[in-house]
């Protein structure tokens, strides 16, 4: 009897303890300031981070900035006012974050940069969970050099002006092509990471370059712009993937379909599943553990030979 009573008490104590720990987990409130939904990759990233939060019982406060930095700054301030346990920030551009990051730091709220980086002191944020965009650009250029025997006039579709993704992908590409005098970047302009932007800019490149006959390849900073370029090239009466080679970045399902159809030639994967490592970093910081300043998430280059299979797997 006494034993039973003891057991009942300890079970109750355990229940309270477990209850508390579940409550504590459910009470983990994280703010997520997302850029918008400019690309297929961005939409997958948002869905993946939301799903990961739900799986972990995290109360995720989501804010879509519609591509505007001022909206992101407002969102971060609102998260601070709500007393969140941590903030995920996907910064649309690199500069202009110092003040708001300092406000989060002063409030004791760790900020994780997801996907893109900022031009600010590393002390102002906990960590960055992102791919190395310079490496992605370099990989695209290395593929192009090998494919064209290092002789090619390239047009470049840049991402959003001022974003780390556009700046670094450009720098990485240029660092490799500078070794090959036969590869020239003859035109370079932003298509803002959108399909319509990629199409519009590609149309102007085609017009300016003898209807496209003087263009050997397109380097697009993301798949959506590459898919826009495919449309423009077809409408100009040329065959994308053959008359004009196309290399891009992201590895979204649609680009595998395009590669399988022979319309594009290579893509570099950008991992959209950044929620897990971001939440882990906040948890680790809360537990007083050391967190590295950059948690890298680089992906491989895919070619048409596996495209049909990849499309099947990724579009389920
Ligand atoms: O910051 C990553 C880039 O942003 C992705 O490559 C692009 O698709 C997105 O919108």
- Which ligand 1 atom lies nearest to the CA of residue 115? 1
The pLDDT of residue 143 is 98
Q: How many CB atoms lie within 10 A of CB 69?
A: 17
Cα–Cα distances (Å) from 202 to 42, 87, 147, 196, 230, in that order, read 22, 37, 21, 10, 9
Report the residue among 270, 271, 299 best suited for mutation to probe ligand 1: largest number of ligand atoms under 8 A from its CB. 270
Q: What is the pLDDT of residues 98-109, one digit of tens each?
A: 999 999 999 999
Residue 165 alpha carbon, nearest atom of ligand 1: 1
State the CB neighbour count (10 A cutoff) for residue 309: 11
What's the whole-model pTM score? 0.91
Q: Please give the distance of CA 75 from its chain centroid, rounded to a whole number.
A: 19
The pLDDT assigned to 316 comes to 82
pLDDT of residue 27: 56
The closest residue, in CA terms, to atom 1 on ligand 1 is: 165
Ligand 1 pocket member 42 (CB < 6 A): yes
Residue 158 has pLDDT above 70, yes or no: yes
Q: Is 125 helix (H, G, I), strand (E, B) or coil?
A: coil
Can you give 273-285 as a three-state secondary structure string?
Answer: CCHHHHHHHHHHH
The band of 8, judged by pLDDT with boundaries at 50, 70 and 90, is: very low
Kindly give the distance from the C-alpha atom of residue 223 to the centroid of ligand 1, in angstroms, as a whole number: 9
Residue 250 CB–ligand 1 contact under 6 Å: yes
For the segment 179-217, what is each residue's pLDDT rounded down to a tens digit?
A: 999 999 999 999 999 999 999 999 999 999 999 999 999
Question: Would the CB of 85 count as within 6 Å of ligand 1?
Answer: no
Q: 38: Cβ below 6 Å to ligand 1?
A: yes
pLDDT at 53 over 50: yes
pLDDT average, residue stretch 217-225: 98
Band of pLDDT at residue 4, cut at 50, 70 and 90? very low
Residue 78 to residues 4, 53, 149, 150, 225, Cα–Cα distance (Å) = 51, 19, 53, 51, 33
193 lines ligand 1 (CB under 6 A): yes
Q: Read off the pLDDT band of 2 (50, 70, 90).
A: very low
Q: What pLDDT digit, counting tens, does each position of 249-269 carry?
A: 999 999 999 999 999 999 999
Q: How confident is the model at residue 24 (pLDDT cuts 50, 70, 90)?
A: very low
Which residue has the CA at smallest separation from atom 3 of ligand 1?
A: 165
Distance CA 77, CA 241 (A): 46
């Amino acid at each position: 009897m006494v034993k039973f009573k003891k057991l009942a008490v300890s079970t109750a104590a355990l229940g309270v303890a477990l209850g508390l720990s579940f409550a504590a987990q459910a009470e983990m409130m994280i703010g997520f300031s997302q850029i918008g939904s400019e690309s297929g990759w961005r939409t997958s990233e948002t869905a993946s981070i939301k799903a990961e939060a739900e799986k972990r019982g995290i109360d995720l406060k989501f804010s879509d900035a519609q591509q505007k930095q001022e909206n992101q700054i407002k969102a971060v301030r609102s998260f601070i006012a709500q007393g969140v346990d941590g903030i995920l920030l996907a910064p649309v551009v690199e500069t202009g974050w110092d003040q708001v990051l300092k406000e989060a730091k002063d409030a004791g709220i760790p900020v994780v940069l997801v996907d893109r980086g900022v031009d600010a002191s590393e002390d102002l944020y906990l960590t960055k969970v992102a791919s190395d965009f310079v490496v992605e650009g370099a990989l695209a250029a290395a593929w192009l050099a090998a494919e064209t025997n290092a002789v090619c006039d390239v047009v470049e579709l840049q991402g959003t002006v001022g974003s780390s993704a556009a700046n670094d992908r450009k720098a990485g590409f240029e660092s490799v092509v500078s070794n090959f005098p036969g590869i020239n970047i003859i035109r370079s302009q932003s298509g803002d990471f959108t399909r319509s932007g990629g199409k519009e800019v590609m149309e102007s490149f085609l017009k300016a370059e003898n209807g496209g006959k003087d263009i050997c390849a397109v380097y697009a900073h993301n798949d959506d712009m590459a898919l826009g370029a495919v449309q423009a090239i077809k409408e100009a009466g040329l065959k994308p993937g053959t008359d004009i080679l196309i290399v891009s970045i992201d590895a979204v399902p649609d680009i595998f379909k395009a590669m399988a159809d022979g319309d594009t030639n290579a893509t570099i994967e950008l991992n959209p599943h950044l929620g897990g490592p971001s939440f882990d970093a906040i948890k680790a910081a809360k537990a007083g553990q050391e967190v590295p300043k950059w948690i890298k998430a680089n992906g491989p280059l895919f070619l048409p030979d596996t495209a049909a299979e990849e499309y099947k797997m990724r579009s389920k």
